């Protein structure tokens, strides 16, 4: 999703989650459940990329509407080798 489709508030929430993660790719899990959906959120700008991986229980409430919109837009992708 292009960040132009996000409101200023949504961008702020997403960037806050990335800052909290230290901008390092990593997995944040709230539980040991193995059947939870997992998400990777990535922001690319000015030649750099920041991402965070979350499971459905560790998504902050403020981020849930953004994840819901992304799920609506998402489609199947081929597996990367």
| Burial track 7-38 (b if 16+ CB lie within 10 A, e otherwise) | eeebeebbeebbeebeeeeeebbeeeeeeeee
Angle (CA) 60 5 45, round 5°? 80
Joined tokens for residue 8: 């200023």
Instruction: Give the mean model confidence (pLDDT) for residues 4-18.
Output: 84
Confidence class of residue 26 from pLDDT cuts 50, 70 and 90? low
Interval 42-81: pLDDT, tens: 888 788 888 888 888 888 888 898 888 888 877 777 777 7
Q: pTM for this structure?
A: 0.65
Over the chain, what is the mean pLDDT? 78
Instruction: Spell out the domain ranges in the chain.
Output: 3-73
Cα 13 to Cα 9, 21, 35, 41, 78, distances in angstroms: 6, 13, 26, 12, 29
């Amino acid at each position: 999703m292009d960040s132009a489709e996000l409101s200023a508030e949504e961008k702020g929430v997403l960037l806050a989650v990335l800052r909290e993660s230290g901008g390092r790719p990593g997995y944040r899990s709230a539980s040991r459940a193995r059947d939870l959906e997992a998400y990777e959120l990535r922001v690319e700008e000015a030649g750099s990329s920041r991402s965070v991986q979350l499971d459905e229980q560790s998504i902050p409430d403020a981020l849930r509407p953004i994840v819901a919109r992304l799920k609506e837009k998402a489609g199947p992708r081929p597996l990367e080798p």
